[in-house]
Chains A and B, each alone.
Chain A
């Protein structure tokens, strides 16, 4: 037996870094307290901050989230306030720190894992699908983990910084998937995700992070928005457009155009993809008889197929036309701006599909 051990200090240690200390409120979490409108990114940061203040079991883990403040600066200033034991910088090892989050969750903590870009969640696919998602099923009980990060195209990030990852996980029982479209929902849904006892994939579209038109004044009081409940973003009666994330804004823009032609589109913002609010979709379809599904994700295997099948199963008699979809094309996300614009669905695409469906 051979031993090469460091010398032994006595007693359980604290982390070897500086401990938490009070600090001025970082700007990105101070908007609502100051009565100012918040961006989508600030809403996310506020949710994290407030949940960490509310519940000491909540901690953050990910790459460069501490001193650097995260790739998009969502967590800037968190290290000073909460210290290194609750803002854990990790090696570049998405699988490793997601697996570690699972172990910490088993032991009573509530980790929030940040992916610098959700494209990089793929190394953690193994642990998320094999271990995390099966926790209840294996008799290992609840596993309260949130895996959050930026998704989506339009920022000229190319194939490795622009993906939408929801459907990579949609097929895995045991996970929940949230994809908000506005700051109010982002904050309320993220709080619910953190408080939820199941693992949640939380997608944040980069195109919404700092979008000026998305700024809104958020409630000062603590609020949470339940997972699994869609919202009607716009009421109408001529067709139903089901969508989520950034595409909600494209669909609302399209609905404005359609309104000029006298077409009243109802826009349903899913908010949560798993569990899917099938009831809300069906109710809207019963009203309009026409269904268009819009997602930024690629076409084949996109959520439109699943929604169409569910409506076919339960609401076929209510349909007055085919179910259509507007999506990205089936290719990796291109790098060139010109190519990416062609690749992504646009409001004009939504208008064209809506016209076809209304006239059907």
Chain B
């Protein structure tokens, strides 16, 4: 196994981040700062390696990634921070959309991160389109999308893959394995058979070492950008230990030429970052009610319904678009005893 030092350090850092973030989330769930829906929160380290193999940038010119159900692992690889993830999960007012959306993913187009935006399959359609744009402009860019394996039961996913295959766009679509109707014999064929219908290549990633995952996806990325058509990756169910143990990490560090003291420094840096994020999260403000008035089109923020204001005189209603600048709302004031 060989890794260049920078890659090894990046992977190690993100891996440690993921491990410590899992712990931080458990702590926040216990303290009531996060919903219990995160009680079983885990990050599949292979999703980080897959995303790490892409060409991420922070200037809006890199590969695009929709982390989907694997968030925040791939998001970390695309430059997101644990605090950003925790803000979204905890619905804080400091999220990019002021908690109007949140959950596990969010959109940051500078990093080409695409947040969840609808039922299963939608993001495969959207990322096929991002890939289409790269192809049209002949850019050295590719799109990466994670969906859970039940996406193959939706028409949306198949339409996205159909278009991606027909246009041979540079798309890497990852299906994170879980139960599907195929498992009890009710429905669809396996992923490999599905992919063949769309002219897509297939990779199956199981318990492979992460450096192997990294290299495989790097090779695949080159192929899809070169016009070989989309690639479908089946991310098989992970082993119990989703992140490498100390022994393997040590071997990684060695493969990358990192000393044990450097390994420890990377570990400590990742831990400090997550600890800071967890502590900081508790001080972050909640969204204000009027944050719901964000513009929904270029022209206007929505106007609060007049029935929630003081009854207006005829002809005295604010025109559409005045909502965001209409001054204090009734619900901003202290409640009447």
Using CB atoms and an 8 Å cutoff, list the residues of chain A in contact with chain B. Answer: 1-16, 59, 85-86, 88, 90-91, 93, 95-109, 111, 123, 126-127, 130-131, 133-134, 136-142, 173-176, 196-198, 228, 275, 278-279, 313-317
| Complex alpha-carbon distance, A275 and B295, angstroms | 13
Cross-chain pairs A/B with CB under 8 angstroms, 9 sampled: A12-B135, A85-B136, A99-B122, A100-B126, A100-B128, A102-B125, A103-B131, A109-B136, A139-B98
Query: Could you tell me if A137 and B202 are in contact, using CB atoms closer than 8 angstroms?
Result: no
Instruction: List residues of chain B with CB within 8 A of the CB of A108.
Output: 133
Query: Could you tell me if B231 and A5 are in contact, using CB atoms closer than 8 angstroms?
Result: yes
Number of interface residues of B (CB under 8 A): 77
Contacts A1-B216, A3-B203, A6-B201; A100 near B299 (Cβ below 8 A): no
Instruction: List residues of chain B with CB within 8 A of the CB of A7.
Output: 228
Sample of 7 more A-B contacts, CB < 8 Å, known A15-B135, A131-B118, A136-B297: A1-B203, A102-B125, A103-B126, A103-B128, A137-B294, A139-B101, A196-B298
Instruction: List residues of chain A with CB within 8 A of the CB of B225.
Output: 12
Query: Could you tell me if A91 and B122 are in contact, using CB atoms closer than 8 angstroms?
Result: no
B300 CB-CB contact with A under 8 Å: yes
Instruction: List residues of chain A with CB within 8 A of the CB of B319.
Output: 278-279
Shortest distance in angstroms between B58's beta carbon and chain A's nearest beta carbon? Answer: 16
Instruction: List residues of chain B with CB within 8 A of the CB of A85.
Output: 135-136
Instruction: List residues of chain A with CB within 8 A of the CB of B140.
Output: 12
Query: Could you tell me if B296 and A174 are in contact, using CB atoms closer than 8 angstroms?
Result: yes
The winner among A98, A136, A176 for most chain B CB atoms within 10 A is: A136
Instruction: List residues of chain A with CB within 8 A of the CB of B128.
Output: 96, 99-100, 103
Shortest distance in angstroms between A102's beta carbon and chain B's nearest beta carbon? Answer: 5
User: Interface code B210-252, partner A: CB below 8 Å = 1, 0 otherwise?
Assistant: 0011001000101101111101000000000000000000000
Query: Could you tell me if A106 and B122 are in contact, using CB atoms closer than 8 angstroms?
Result: no
| Complex alpha-carbon distance, A95 and B204, angstroms | 28
Q: Per a CB cutoff under 8 Å, which of A3, A8, A315 touches B315?
A: A315
* Residue of B whose beta carbon sits closest to that of A130: B118
Query: Could you tell me if B160 and A100 are in contact, using CB atoms closer than 8 angstroms?
Result: yes
Query: Could you tell me if A12 and B139 are in contact, using CB atoms closer than 8 angstroms?
Result: yes
Instruction: List residues of chain A with CB within 8 A of the CB of B226.
Output: 8-13
| Complex alpha-carbon distance, A59 and B135, angstroms | 13
Query: Could you tell me if A16 and B168 are in contact, using CB atoms closer than 8 angstroms?
Result: yes
Within 8 A of A (CB), among B266-307: 294-300, 302, 306
Nearest 5 interchain pairs by C-beta:
A99-B125, A103-B129, A96-B159, A13-B227, A100-B129
Query: Could you tell me if A275 and B320 are in contact, using CB atoms closer than 8 angstroms?
Result: yes
Within 8 A of A (CB), among B103-155: 106-107, 109, 114-115, 117-119, 122, 124-136, 138-140, 143, 155
The winner among A4, A134, A138 for most chain B CB atoms within 10 A is: A138
Query: Could you tell me if B135 and A96 are in contact, using CB atoms closer than 8 angstroms?
Result: no
Instruction: List residues of chain B with CB within 8 A of the CB of A13.
Output: 135, 138, 168, 226-227
Instruction: List residues of chain B with CB within 8 A of the CB of A4.
Output: 201-202
| Complex alpha-carbon distance, A107 and B136, angstroms | 11
| Complex alpha-carbon distance, A358 and B115, angstroms | 55
Using CB atoms and an 8 Å cutoff, list the residues of chain B in contact with chain A. Answer: 64, 95-98, 100-101, 106-107, 109, 114-115, 117-119, 122, 124-136, 138-140, 143, 155-156, 158-160, 162-163, 166-168, 170, 201-206, 208, 212-213, 216, 220, 222-223, 225-229, 231, 294-300, 302, 306, 314-315, 317, 319-320
| Complex alpha-carbon distance, A279 and B315, angstroms | 10
| Complex alpha-carbon distance, A300 and B226, angstroms | 53
* Residue of A whose beta carbon sits closest to that of B292: A137
Query: Could you tell me if B132 and A88 are in contact, using CB atoms closer than 8 angstroms?
Result: yes
Instruction: List residues of chain B with CB within 8 A of the CB of A86.
Output: 136
Q: Per a CB cutoff under 8 Å, which of A2, A96, A127, A279 touches B203?
A: A2
* Residue of A whose beta carbon sits closest to that of B300: A275
Q: Per a CB cutoff under 8 Å, which of A8, A15, A101, A196 touches B222?
A: A8
Instruction: List residues of chain B with CB within 8 A of the CB of A10.
Output: 226
Instruction: List residues of chain A with CB within 8 A of the CB of B139.
Output: 12
Instruction: List residues of chain A with CB within 8 A of the CB of B109.
Output: 106, 140-141
Query: Could you tell me if B129 and A101 are in contact, using CB atoms closer than 8 angstroms?
Result: yes
| Complex alpha-carbon distance, A131 and B128, angstroms | 14
| Complex alpha-carbon distance, A106 and B135, angstroms | 14
Instruction: List residues of chain A with CB within 8 A of the CB of B118.
Output: 126-127, 130-131
Shortest distance in angstroms between B214's beta carbon and chain A's nearest beta carbon? Answer: 12
Instruction: List residues of chain B with CB within 8 A of the CB of A93.
Output: 159, 162-163
Query: Could you tell me if B117 and A90 are in contact, using CB atoms closer than 8 angstroms?
Result: no
Query: Could you tell me if A130 and B117 are in contact, using CB atoms closer than 8 angstroms?
Result: yes
Shortest distance in angstroms between A136's beta carbon and chain B's nearest beta carbon? Answer: 6
| Complex alpha-carbon distance, A14 and B206, angstroms | 34
| Complex alpha-carbon distance, A265 and B168, angstroms | 57
Query: Could you tell me if B129 and A139 are in contact, using CB atoms closer than 8 angstroms?
Result: no
Instruction: List residues of chain A with CB within 8 A of the CB of B127.
Output: 103
| Complex alpha-carbon distance, A144 and B222, angstroms | 30
| Complex alpha-carbon distance, A281 and B124, angstroms | 43
Instruction: List residues of chain A with CB within 8 A of the CB of B131.
Output: 103
Instruction: List residues of chain B with CB within 8 A of the CB of A91.
Output: 159, 162-163, 166
| Complex alpha-carbon distance, A88 and B128, angstroms | 13
Instruction: List residues of chain A with CB within 8 A of the CB of B212.
Output: 1
Contacts A2-B203, A91-B159; A109 near B133 (Cβ below 8 A): yes
Instruction: List residues of chain B with CB within 8 A of the CB of A140.
Output: 107, 109, 114-115, 117
The winner among A5, A90, A134 for most chain B CB atoms within 10 A is: A5
Q: Per a CB cutoff under 8 Å, which of B117, B126, B206, B306 touches A1?
A: B206
Contacts A96-B156, A275-B299, A315-B315; A9 near B206 (Cβ below 8 A): no
Instruction: List residues of chain A with CB within 8 A of the CB of B229.
Output: 6
Query: Could you tell me if A59 and B136 are in contact, using CB atoms closer than 8 angstroms?
Result: yes
| Complex alpha-carbon distance, A7 and B128, angstroms | 21
Query: Could you tell me if B315 and A104 are in contact, using CB atoms closer than 8 angstroms?
Result: no
Instruction: List residues of chain B with CB within 8 A of the CB of A90.
Output: 163, 166-167
Query: Could you tell me if A106 and B297 are in contact, using CB atoms closer than 8 angstroms?
Result: no
Q: Per a CB cutoff under 8 Å, which of A15, A97, A127, A278 touches B320?
A: A278
Instruction: List residues of chain A with CB within 8 A of the CB of B64.
Output: 103, 106-107
Shortest distance in angstroms between A60's beta carbon and chain B's nearest beta carbon? Answer: 12
* Residue of B whose beta carbon sits closest to that of A91: B162
Instruction: List residues of chain A with CB within 8 A of the CB of B143.
Output: 103
